[in-house]
Amino acid sequence: MTSSKPSRFFSKFSRSASHLLPFSAPLVELEEEEDSYFDYFYDEPGSTPGTLTIEADAPVPIMSLIDYHEGSASRILVTEPEEFVPYLDSESVSWVDVQGLGSEDVLRRLGEVFRLHPLVLEDVVNVPQRPKVDEYADQILLITRMVTPKDSGRGFVVEQVSFILGKHYLLTVQEEPDYDCFGPVRERIRADKGQIRRRGADYLAYALLDSIIDGFFPVLESYGEELENLEDEVVSKPNRQSLEKIHRIRRELLALRRAIWPQRDAINSLIRDCYHLIGDEVRVYLRDCYDHAVQVIDMVETYREVASSLMDVYVSSVGNKMNEVMKLLTIISTIFIPLTFIAGVYGMNFDPESSPWNMPELNWYWGYPTCLAVMAGIAITLIFYFKRRGWFENFSGIEEE
């Protein structure tokens, strides 16, 4: 795409903006936070349409602009929403990225600059929303869910990313500035890799959406490895920690399913419906993005089935372990029952002199050793009998937790 914007305009705008940014420069330091995977926003009963609800701990918006055409590209950090006005109707592609929803004033001014419908601004700000696609007069709203692995390597962070696609611009609004999967796209624009700088804003929207979908794969890969390790643990040494891990994985996989399933429908809508801002060539690329979304769904469903089967294996393993313990205790009890009977009979201590029926064996010289020998013989006979029947097998799996 050839830009009709004079080169001096770049210099003028660069001086009016805060400062130029290198494409690879991070906007903020990463911080790990606990996220809720299952929340969805709902309006208060009777609230006015277009009402903005901003969380008290929402970060202040950080706004950046990447303006590019076939010949050049620049990234600029912007402090005032009105600085975007000259770029809205230019022939170059302008990507406005807003990270953070902590200022109602800035967000409303953005809505005025980009001429956003009040319901669009409400969907963008009041997070999280269900992924969807809405078309307006000269804009397309796309709500997506982005997941990125946590720095700890356990779990993931999920946040809403909103796309507002215009003729020559794309506005993206993210919940948090801490996590982002758009770095490869920024690098492609900076280094002029591929055909992104020769395409329009619709191709940029596809590239970012494809990055979001591909971001699911590293998360799912970590769950695949964890499920393999957990399967060995459940079979060999099931314990309460194993049950907690299974429950956590099932819960997080359900959250992934809720994030990716409606996004597949949204991508399918972009392909099937005739949106005037989406070119036919971009629809072909969106089919590949749709295939990736379907592949993610297949992986999520497979891992959910594996996690559910692990729960059954856990219950079976615990039951087998309990059966082995009960079998061992039963064998011990069976051995000691006749011994206890003999000891009980000869422990009544009846006087043999008062009656010939009162246990004359108590006066035998070898009575006590004979009783012990009989008891030992019974015990040995029972142990040999149980061993021949195979009742002592698999006791090596009984270990102290």
Domain chopping of the chain, boundaries: 1-211, 320-397
CA distance 44 to 254: 26
CA distance 277 to 165: 8
**pTM metric for this prediction:** 0.74
> Rounded to the nearest 5 degrees, what angle is found at the Cα of 351, between the Cα atoms of 349 and 352?
115
CA distance 176 to 159: 7
Token pair belonging to 299: 């992986």
Judge contact between 126 and 41, C-beta under 8 A.
yes
* Check whether domain 320-397 has CATH 1.20.58.340, yes or no: yes
Token pair belonging to 91: 């022939």
Token pair belonging to 204: 């940029």
Q: Identify the helix (H) or strand (E) that includes residue 205.
A: helix 201-214
Token pair belonging to 250: 């099932």
pLDDT number for residue 15: 33
pLDDT number for residue 292: 95
Q: Which single residue is written with the structure tokens 């076939």?
A: 70
pLDDT number for residue 9: 29
CA distance 165 to 116: 11
Which residues contact residue 45 at a Cβ distance below 8 angstroms, ignoring those fewer than 6 apart?
Answer: none
CA distance 256 to 299: 10
pLDDT number for residue 354: 66
pLDDT number for residue 29: 42
CATH number of 1-211: 3.30.460.20
Fold agreement between 1-211 and 320-397: no
Tell me, what amino acid is at 363?
A: N
pLDDT number for residue 32: 40
**In whole angstroms, how far apart are CA 229 and each of 221, 299, 313?**
13, 17, 14
Q: Reduce the DSSP state of residue 317 to 3 states and report it.
A: helix
> Rounded to the nearest 5 degrees, what angle is found at the Cα of 151, between the Cα atoms of 147 and 154?
75
pLDDT number for residue 1: 39
CA distance 245 to 136: 45
Per-block average pLDDT, block size 10, for the chain (401 residues)? 35 38 52 50 64 84 93 91 89 93 92 92 89 92 92 82 95 89 92 92 96 94 90 82 88 91 94 91 94 95 91 80 78 83 73 67 74 85 78 55 43
Would you call 174 exposed, middle or buried from its count of C-beta atoms within 10 A (0-12, 13-18, 19+)? buried
